[in-house]
Amino acid sequence: MAAMDMENNGDNSDHQIKWKFQGNKDLNAASISVRGILNMLVDNLDKSDQRPCIMLGRGDPTEFPSFRTTPLAVDAVTDALRSFNFNSYAPTVGVLQGRRAIAKYLSEDLSYQLLEEDVYLTSGCTQSIEIIISVLARPGANILLPRPGYPQYEARAAYEKLEVRHFDLVPEKDWEVDLDSVEALADENTAAIVIINPSNPCGSVFKYQHLKKIAETARRLGILVIADEVYGHLVVGSNPFVPMGEFASLVPVVTLGSISKRWIVPGWRLGWVVTNDPTAILRKTGIVESIKNCLNITSDTPTFIQAAVPQILEKTNDEFFSKIIYIMRQAVEVLYETVAAIPCLTCPVKPEGSMAVMVKLNLPLLEDIVDDLDFCLKLAKEESIIFLPGVAVGLKNWVRITFAAELVSLEDALGRLKAFCQRHAKK
């Protein structure tokens, strides 16, 4: 349309040219992206507010001093860089020593060994999502995604013209998968189900028995399980992290992950796609070949970052991990207790892991707030706090709050949240 208007403006000599290009509207599916909405909230901040803006809207706590990555990881990268050995292009599947180190790292949680050829290195878990969606996007196919979920899957599927069907995560059942709805949604064109565990946005960590039931359901339906474990090991509650790959003898599993969250280096862009394929189904169905072909035509993560992976994985000590978990555990306690004391908010489940939690807005108790987006816009403007409106993750009139934050900042934010809710409460 814009091209037509330009044409009609007419005072230039090019007016007879009919431009044959236009923007790809399939990309507009990504316009309600998390980043898009966060940018809108940031634009709505009151610049005259002297208080610091506290960002609790995304899973990137790098700005908080307690969430600085370990210097050992920085050493690993600088060592790789200074060696001058990694200035070349990387193999499209990833550098061998990096693949091997990830196979070893993930195998520690499995009852079988992954091999280096099961691992493909990517530019973060975001590219892992792009790859697996491209691999599965045949005409007519569909994929089952969780609601609430991680909107990168929806955006990428729309772009690849892969139909999306949503199953529910049930807050009254610790955000477990509604398996009946999964069975009802699937048909002969269903290719896969996506399971995000530990869950962004819910903060849940699935129990072994529930994961097994998901695997059994997927087996019955003949579909692939895509296990997004980008928050693997970021567990603050009592449920241990169990990788979906543990059930790969029942159903083929493709595990997606990265170092972005556990090492708190989302800017380093290093992730992986892993085929858990002990029964060789992923090889027989051409999934493995498609992954390789897809990697042949995409950009690689910088070679020196890939080469640093063995040192990053092997040298990072438990002290670094446990300090982060310790801070997040305290954060969860403070957040959960504060929210429980605010009448217009409900947190149905105390988070067990990841970096985020879903909190429900009780809108009838609020005076002049129409929905979750309105809540977040006013909270940004009046209190300089950024939460993610639930609509961005598929659940209207909820908000997603990130608890990976400096404790003092979180307490400050929660104080402002309380004041905001009191001010807007129905009298």
Ligand X SMILES: *Cc1c(COP(=O)(O)O)cnc(C)c1O
Instruction: Give the binding site for ligand X (CB under 6 A).
Output: 59, 124-126, 150, 196, 200, 228, 230, 258, 260, 266, 271
Q: Which is nearer to ligand X, 200 or 338 (CB)?
A: 200
Q: Which is nearer to ligand X, 166 or 416 (CB)?
A: 166
Q: Which is nearer to ligand X, 270 or 344 (CB)?
A: 270
Write down the least CB distance from residue 422 to ligand X, Å: 32
Write down the least CB distance from residue 76 to ligand X, Å: 17
Residue count (the chain): 427
Question: Kindly report the CA angle at 159 between 156 and 160, in degrees rounded to 5?
Answer: 90
In whole angstroms, give the CA distance from residue 238 to residue 349. Answer: 13
Q: Which is nearer to ligand X, 377 or 400 (CB)?
A: 400
Nearest residue to the partner ligand X, using Cβ:
124
Q: Which is nearer to ligand X, 126 or 276 (CB)?
A: 126
Write down the least CB distance from residue 389 to ligand X, Å: 17
Q: Across the chain, which distance is largest between two alpha carbons, in Å?
A: 72
Long-range contacts of 370-374, Cβ-Cβ distance < 8 Å, separation of 24 or more = 371/396, 371/397, 372/396, 372/397, 372/398, 372/399, 373/37
Q: Which is nearer to ligand X, 166 or 424 (CB)?
A: 166
Write down the least CB distance from residue 84 to ligand X, Å: 27
Q: 221 with 175: CB under 8 angstroms? A: no
SS (H, E, C) 210-260: HHHHHHHHHHHHCCEEEEECCCCCCECCCCCCCCHHHHCCCCCEEEEEECC
- Smallest Cα–Cα separation from 121: which of 307, 253, 263, 280? 307
In whole angstroms, give the CA distance from residue 307 to residue 320. Answer: 21
Write down the least CB distance from residue 5 to ligand X, Å: 38
Write down the least CB distance from residue 229 to ligand X, Å: 9
Q: Which is nearer to ligand X, 142 or 301 (CB)?
A: 301
Structure tokens at 290: 């498609």
Sheet holding 398-402, edge to edge: 345-346, 356-361, 398-402, 388-389
Write down the least CB distance from residue 192 to ligand X, Å: 15
